[in-house]
Amino acid sequence: MVDTLSTASFKEAVGLYNVRKTQLKLVRAQGYVIPEDEQKYVDLGARKFLDHYVNKAIDDETTIRKTLCSVYTSEDDDDDRLVVSYADVVGTKQLGVNEVAQFVKDMDNHDTYKGIIISANQMSSDANKNVDQLPTYDVQFFMEKELTYNVVDHILVPKHEFMDLATSKAFMAKYGLSPDNLPNMFSKDPVCRYYNGKVGQIVKIYRTNIHNTSVVETIYYRMIIDKIK
């Protein structure tokens, strides 16, 4: 059925395959379980992925993006769920207030406040304000082009370990530190966003010393902040 796609549609579908690969790794990195069937169609390669999801979209009379929407359960807590939605915004239209409102309803329907919106287009300023005014929800937003590659897989990106807020506070108390004592990492940093890091968390960064054989690895610490004071 893939062969019936137009050249433009086929290229877009292949792009979604790359986005899906990164999305599954990102969700797993944030502590959620990936269903075997979702991982299988990524591991089988782009052709099998397209065969499955294009045919599923045709059978369900919907779009490929709609078939990629999913809900994931935490590795540690069955009541902790994450909704991932691929926004069906086409052309030059921005992701708007109505789409965000529908996403919030989807989270409510799955009894969770956590979600990721993936869109081919930018979020409008009004929609962005609405997200900022949802303090009880944890909504992450990624453009598809941001997920066509995996930022943490780059050879120059070291291992990052994110302490939770309680561990971060305990770490600072143990060593008599204040937030001003640590170098910063911005919450908008691509690696921070990948792991859904939050302001106030401490990040442990492991850097390999390629020029010093006596010290193989050095550990650095960063405090996540929203912006420069």
- What percentage of the chain carries pLDDT values higher than 70? 93
Beta bridge partners of 202: 223
CATH (residue range 152-225): 3.90.940.20
> What residue segments make up the domains of the chain, in order of their start?
2-149, 152-225
Q: Which residues contact 98 (CB under 8 A, 6 or more apart)?
A: none
Q: Are 142 and 190 in contact (CB under 8 A)?
A: no
Residue among 34, 9, 32, 3 nearest 21 (CA): 34
**Integer-rounded Cα radius of gyration of the chain:** 20
- For the 2-149 domain, the top CATH level (class) is alpha beta
Cα–Cα distance measured from residue 35 to residue 53, given in angstroms and rounded to the nearest whole number: 15
Q: Are 72 and 27 in contact (CB under 8 A)?
A: yes
Alpha-helix runs per DSSP H in 60-142: 64-68, 97-109, 125-132
Model pLDDT, residue 2: 46
Model pLDDT, residue 9: 66
What would the pLDDT profile of 34-63 be if each residue is shown by its tens digit? 999 999 999 999 889 988 998 998 999 998
What would the pLDDT profile of 94-147 be if each residue is shown by its tens digit? 999 999 999 999 999 999 999 999 999 999 999 999 998 888 999 999 999 999
Q: Which residue has the higher pLDDT, 197 or 227?
A: 197
What would the pLDDT profile of 171-182 be if each residue is shown by its tens digit? 999 999 998 899
Indicate the pLDDT class of residue 14, thresholds 50, 70 and 90: confident
Model pLDDT, residue 217: 85
